Structure 1
Amino acid sequence: MSHTKKRHSPEEETQPQISFIKKFFRVSKPRSAEAESQRESKSTETNAHQPSRGAPETSAADPAKPKPLSSETEGESRVEKNEQFLQKLGRKAAGKCLDLNNCGLTAADVRELVAFLPFHPDLEELDLSWNDFVGGSLYLMAPKMHVVSKLKILRLCSCRLTADDAGALGEALKVIPELEELNLSWNRRVGGNLPLILQSFQEGSKIQTLELVDCALTSDDGAFMGQLLPMLQNLEILDLSLNRNICGSLNSIARGLESTSNLKVLKLHSCGLSQDSIKILDAFRHLRNLRRLDLSCNKALGGGFEASPAHMATLKHLQVLSLRQCSLTADDVTWLTQVIPLLSNLQELDLSANRKMGSSSENLLSRLRFLPALKSLLLNNCALGKEPFTALAEASMHLPGLEVLDLSWNKCVGGNLNLLLDTLELSSSLQVLTLSSCSLVTEDVVLLASLIRTGHLARLRKLDLSYNDSIHDTGWTVFCQSVQFLKELMELDVSLRPSNFRDCGQWFGPLLCAMTKLPEVTEIGMQRWVLSALQKEELECFHQEEKRIIHFDHGGVQ
């Protein structure tokens, strides 16, 4: 927080505000901004009252004397300077959008940008993300932001914003009433200064998207957010991910969420949620328009769902649900089994890295058949047994729109891929199939090859068969002879485990031949397959003859 204090004007003190928020707002913009403003004002006054040096005063009536530059000429000069500024940064103006993301901006560039803004009063989108030197320079921009008052989108991700920038940004936001999206993610000095920045977000604010990922938000910031949320009636996207210290104020946030009925996306990835903070689910009964819910990577959450009311069942419009790495227990799985069939609009489900759910997930996986709109199913590293895998195989036949299926790190798939035969034959939409470290055997890849040759899996764009070291060279050969029929394939990975190195077999020739017939492929993963001298020569010739760039990541060095 800034150490300076702000005296409220009578008009400000008469405005109705929540007392909790009011406590945080008694701050002023940084002195550096005031000093800069005073210097600019003094400079303007001086220039206005002093004649230019170098030439004697001339009479306007004397036709022989040079005339001052016309406003049209000045305008052309400014346009040229603006173009030079953008050209220097390798960017072009695009209508109402100015994208200077990752341009290596310096403090001097920020000064040029300040001079640039008044000539673009219709600017609606400004992105300065991933420019380290923006931090500490916002005081230069704050006094000029009123000239782009139509701004709707402001992104300042990873700009190393300072505590002083927080004050300057708070002042700037006061003169941007049309703002709809604000992204301050990956600026850790935002933490502890959030009330100072968002002081202008009052009732009636048009803000729709607020992203504060990994901003080191404090418990006080979380409490402030809980008080602020009821004012943000237009809020649709809220991302507080990677702020573990707000867990102590989640009850306050939950109460605030009850008033955000228009919210469509809520992300609380890795926020330190625990069994106690699962009470935040109570707010879900008010979020009837929610489309995306991310509670992933909250490892202490496991065991808390069983005691929670089934408020998630009211999320009739939910399309994306991520519970990855939440340490789900058998009781949690029982709770989820009751909820899942009621989410009929669900399109993406991520239950990855919940190893405790494996043996008790048979009933849950069998109920996936009630999700006809499901497009993405991620179950990697769930320690599935044969019975749950069989239940999944039977249910997946009822998912005709499935586009992404990830079963990696489930050893039960090896030798049992035939259980998915009907699903793979019926699926006309599958684009990503990930079977890494599934203990696949030769018969499994021969089955895949047969499906590919007969025209199934025709829309596959990414196929990951890595870390399946038990497949013999004969199986790889049969498979590589069939790859050429995957006309939309972009990525293929057949890498070996980090601890294993093998000589590349006779299948390498058919693989190279297949690549000449696949117009979309860009990446072939072959880590730890050791190429012979002849195979290296073949690969070099392939690169010389092919006009496309295909990256063969073989790394076959022991």
Structure 2
Amino acid sequence: MSQRRKKNSSDGETKPRTSFVNKFFRSSKLRPTKAESRQKSNDLEAADFQPSDDAQKTENILDAAKPLPSEMELGSRMEKNEQFLQKLGRKAVNKCLDLNNCGLTTTDVREVVALLPLLPDLEKLDISWNDLIGGTLRSVTQQMHLVSKLKILRLGSCRLTTDDVRALGEALEAIPELEELNLSWNSKVGGNLPLILQKFQEGSKIQTLELIDCDLTSEDGAFVGQLLPMMQNLEVLDLSINRNIGDSLNSIAQGLKSTSNLKVLKLHSCGLSQKSVRILDAAFRYLCELRRLDLSCNKELGGGFEDSSAQLATLEHLEVLDLHQCSLTVDDVTSLTQVIPLLSSLQELDLSANKKMGGSSENLLSRLRFLPALKSLLINNCALQSETFTALAEASAHLPALEVFDLSWNKCIGGNLKLLLETLKFSESLQVLRLSSCSLVTEDVAVLASLIQTGHLAKLQKLILSYNDSICDTGWAIFCQNMWFLKELTELDISLRPSTSRDCGQWFRHLLCAVTTLPKITEIGMKRWILPATQEEELERFHQDHRCSIHFDLGEFQEADFPRLN
């Protein structure tokens, strides 16, 4: 770059360089330069005094020849900032400055501070995942008044200190247009939340507040509850992985009644209890716009839905319901059977890791047929039994929009996969099918191969068949011989269990042949399958002949990762 500048100078070239920083500033409304101000003044005086043409030309020549210090200084700073952004591999795009995960140093922070005054129209600043920001944020927040149009501020995982938190609280008043604030993964936010948000006023424009894993205390939770009525525009509230706020849920739920625009509520792993369901249920009828509800990984929640889920059915716009790992009981399932089928807008349902569902969810699973918009259904590790699996298989025929289906870790599927495949052949949307550790046998993959051969599952992108060690070499051979019909496939996993290992059979040759006809495949999981020397040679020849980018993951035994050559 310096050599190019020297050459331009020696050639007498005076045309300014156009950089991405220059382009950025063109979209910002900078203060007028002295030349612009003087031109406006001349325009205003033109009616009273008109200089001669010669005088005007002379003045114009003098103006052009006389450099303005402010312009020179601005150009120098812009060039320096361009170099700074180039060093980080980033650039300023329109009104966005994204420096997340750049490994910023304290010196870099000073560069960011110098950059902010040049960005008066900045609307998004993301410096998340930069550990060394901690302890230096005050120098940034002191410039916040210069970017008063800021709408999005992300400071996730910056190791903020208590002083940083205090400085941020003081600065937020200077950015009244703020719509999104993300402070996730900063433990010092916990216990200090009022210092940050205490200046939020009624009518705040904040739409998204994310405080994931901030070590919030019950007092912080109570403060959030008191603050919510002031945030009438709030659409996203994520308090996940704050295990102590369950004790202040009464206050939070009371505040939620004033957030009628809320679309996303995430309380994943928040220490919720049976009582919490009743408290939240009372608030649900005020959240008529809610689209996403995440109550997952609250293991003490089990039993809470028995008598407290009636208002859940009023969430007529709900699209995502996540209840995985909530220790749901038989009575919970009975109650949810009356509610979930009424959520006609539901697109994603996660009931995974609720093992007590296995023998009691037949009615619930059979009624999933009333959710025609369902795109993702996760029921892995639910200890399904033959009757419940049969009910699910029959219901799946009525889910035309289904794209993701995860049934992993349900042993009853082994030997019975045909029941499901008979209904999935009507699916034209399925993209992901996960059947890991389902005790599948050779007959199961033979039926799967037959279904594939007839042109069904044509849109499948990911097929996970790992940890099914009972499938013999004949079964894998039949499957691999028909795999080439899956033209959209990008990932296949047939890895063995961690406790076992096996030599690859002759089917490996069929796998390589099929892969040559699959234009999109990039990942083949084969952990703990051992390739004899002859098959290693076949794999190497495959790479040399086809020059494709496919990662054969053989785990700790062998590894084959081939780059694409153009």
C-alpha distance in 2 between matches for 1:518 and 1:421: 22
Instruction: Confirm or deny: 8 A CA contact 1:529 1:556 kept in the other structure.
Output: no
Residue of structure 2 equivalent to 1:412? 412
Residue of structure 1 equivalent to 2:90? 91
C-alpha distance in 2 between matches for 1:73 and 1:556: 59
Residue of structure 2 equivalent to 1:454? 454
C-alpha distance in 2 between matches for 1:135 and 1:496: 44
Tell me the matched-pair count. 494
Query: With structure 2 as the length reference, what TM-score do the two structures score?
Result: 0.86
Residue 296 of structure 2 aligns with an amino acid whose one-letter code is S
Unmatched runs of 5 consecutive residues or more in structure 2: 1-61, 559-566
Instruction: Confirm or deny: 8 A CA contact 1:449 1:483 kept in the other structure.
Output: yes
Question: Do structure 1's residue 338 and structure 2's residue 338 form an aligned pair?
Answer: yes
Instruction: Tell me the CA shift for residue 556 of structure 1.
Output: 5.9
Residue of structure 2 equivalent to 1:275? 274
Residue of structure 2 equivalent to 1:27? none
Output the aligned Cα RMSD.
1.4
C-alpha distance in 2 between matches for 1:129 and 1:471: 46
Task: Summarize the alignment of residues 372-411 of structure 1 with structure 2, pairs less than 5 Å apart.
Answer: 372-411=372-411
Residue 478 of structure 2 aligns with an amino acid whose one-letter code is V
Instruction: Confirm or deny: 8 A CA contact 1:202 1:231 kept in the other structure.
Output: yes
3-state SS of paired residue (1:492): strand
Residue of structure 2 equivalent to 1:117? 116
User: C-alpha deviations, 1:528-548, integer Å up to 9, x for none?
Assistant: 001101111222222333333
C-alpha distance in 2 between matches for 1:189 and 1:410: 41
Residue 409 of structure 1 aligns with an amino acid whose one-letter code is W
3-state SS of paired residue (1:360): coil
Instruction: Confirm or deny: 8 A CA contact 1:501 1:556 kept in the other structure.
Output: no
Residue of structure 2 equivalent to 1:319? 319
Residue of structure 2 equivalent to 1:497? 497
Task: Summarize the alignment of residues 51-450 of structure 1 with structure 2, pairs less than 5 Å apart.
Answer: 70-278=69-277, 279-450=279-450
Instruction: Tell me the CA shift for residue 421 of structure 1.
Output: 2.6
3-state SS of paired residue (2:199): coil
C-alpha distance in 1 between matches for 2:414 and 2:297: 28
Instruction: Confirm or deny: 8 A CA contact 1:530 1:555 kept in the other structure.
Output: no
User: C-alpha deviations, 1:284-335, integer Å up to 9, x for none?
Assistant: 1110100000000000000111121501000000000000000000000000
Residue 377 of structure 2 aligns with an amino acid whose one-letter code is L
Residue of structure 1 equivalent to 2:528? 528
Instruction: Confirm or deny: 8 A CA contact 1:531 1:556 kept in the other structure.
Output: no
Instruction: Tell me the CA shift for residue 185 of structure 1.
Output: 0.6
C-alpha distance in 2 between matches for 1:513 and 1:523: 15
Residue 485 of structure 1 aligns with an amino acid whose one-letter code is F
Residue 398 of structure 2 aligns with an amino acid whose one-letter code is H
C-alpha distance in 2 between matches for 1:498 and 1:422: 31
C-alpha distance in 2 between matches for 1:467 and 1:249: 43
Instruction: Tell me the CA shift for residue 555 of structure 1.
Output: 2.4
**Identical counterparts, % of pairs:** 76
The structure, 1 or 2, with the larger RCO (C-alpha pairs under 8 Å, 6+ apart) is 1
C-alpha distance in 2 between matches for 1:511 and 1:180: 51
Instruction: Confirm or deny: 8 A CA contact 2:190 2:220 kept in the other structure.
Output: yes
Shift in alpha-carbon separation, 1:294–1:309, aligned structure 2, 3 A:
closer
Instruction: Tell me the CA shift for residue 69 of structure 1.
Output: 5.3
Instruction: Tell me the CA shift for residue 249 of structure 1.
Output: 0.3
Residue 362 of structure 2 aligns with an amino acid whose one-letter code is E
3-state SS of paired residue (1:359): coil
Instruction: Confirm or deny: 8 A CA contact 1:312 1:339 kept in the other structure.
Output: yes
Instruction: Tell me the CA shift for residue 549 of structure 1.
Output: 1.8
Unmatched runs of 5 consecutive residues or more in structure 1: 1-62
Runs of 4+ in structure 1 deviating by more than 4 angstroms, as ranges, are 66-69
Shift in alpha-carbon separation, 1:321–1:547, aligned structure 2, 3 A:
same
User: C-alpha deviations, 1:431-479, integer Å up to 9, x for none?
Assistant: 0000000000101101111111111000000000000000010110010
Instruction: Tell me the CA shift for residue 78 of structure 1.
Output: 1.6
3-state SS of paired residue (1:305): coil
Residue 378 of structure 2 aligns with an amino acid whose one-letter code is L
Instruction: Tell me the CA shift for residue 521 of structure 1.
Output: 0.9
C-alpha distance in 1 between matches for 2:109 and 2:556: 47
User: C-alpha deviations, 1:510-538, integer Å up to 9, x for none?
Assistant: 11111111111111100000110111122
C-alpha distance in 2 between matches for 1:177 and 1:548: 52
Residue 422 of structure 2 aligns with an amino acid whose one-letter code is D
Instruction: Confirm or deny: 8 A CA contact 1:302 1:326 kept in the other structure.
Output: yes
Residue 401 of structure 2 aligns with an amino acid whose one-letter code is G
Residue 528 of structure 2 aligns with an amino acid whose one-letter code is R
Query: With structure 1 as the length reference, what TM-score do the two structures score?
Result: 0.87
Instruction: Confirm or deny: 8 A CA contact 1:282 1:309 kept in the other structure.
Output: no
3-state SS of paired residue (1:238): strand
C-alpha distance in 2 between matches for 1:541 and 1:235: 58
Instruction: Confirm or deny: 8 A CA contact 2:309 2:336 kept in the other structure.
Output: no
Instruction: Confirm or deny: 8 A CA contact 2:309 2:335 kept in the other structure.
Output: no
3-state SS of paired residue (2:405): strand
C-alpha distance in 2 between matches for 1:191 and 1:159: 14
Instruction: Confirm or deny: 8 A CA contact 1:243 1:271 kept in the other structure.
Output: yes
Residue 370 of structure 1 aligns with an amino acid whose one-letter code is F
Instruction: Tell me the CA shift for residue 80 of structure 1.
Output: 0.7
Instruction: Confirm or deny: 8 A CA contact 1:380 1:406 kept in the other structure.
Output: yes
Instruction: Tell me the CA shift for residue 108 of structure 1.
Output: 1.1
C-alpha distance in 2 between matches for 1:67 and 1:234: 51
Instruction: Tell me the CA shift for residue 67 of structure 1.
Output: 7.5
C-alpha distance in 2 between matches for 1:80 and 1:547: 42
Instruction: Confirm or deny: 8 A CA contact 1:187 1:214 kept in the other structure.
Output: yes
3-state SS of paired residue (1:126): strand
Shift in alpha-carbon separation, 1:153–1:207, aligned structure 2, 3 A:
same
Instruction: Confirm or deny: 8 A CA contact 2:309 2:339 kept in the other structure.
Output: no
Instruction: Tell me the CA shift for residue 139 of structure 1.
Output: 0.9
Residue 209 of structure 1 aligns with an amino acid whose one-letter code is T
C-alpha distance in 2 between matches for 1:299 and 1:516: 46
C-alpha distance in 1 between matches for 2:127 and 2:181: 12
Instruction: Tell me the CA shift for residue 72 of structure 1.
Output: 2.4
> Which moves more between the two structures, 537-546 or 431-440?
537-546
C-alpha distance in 2 between matches for 1:201 and 1:452: 57
User: C-alpha deviations, 1:110-133, integer Å up to 9, x for none?
Assistant: 111111011111111111011001
User: C-alpha deviations, 1:149-183, integer Å up to 9, x for none?
Assistant: 11111111100000000011111111111111111
Shift in alpha-carbon separation, 1:68–1:374, aligned structure 2, 3 A:
closer
> Which moves more between the two structures, 539-548 or 518-527?
539-548
Residue of structure 1 equivalent to 2:49? none
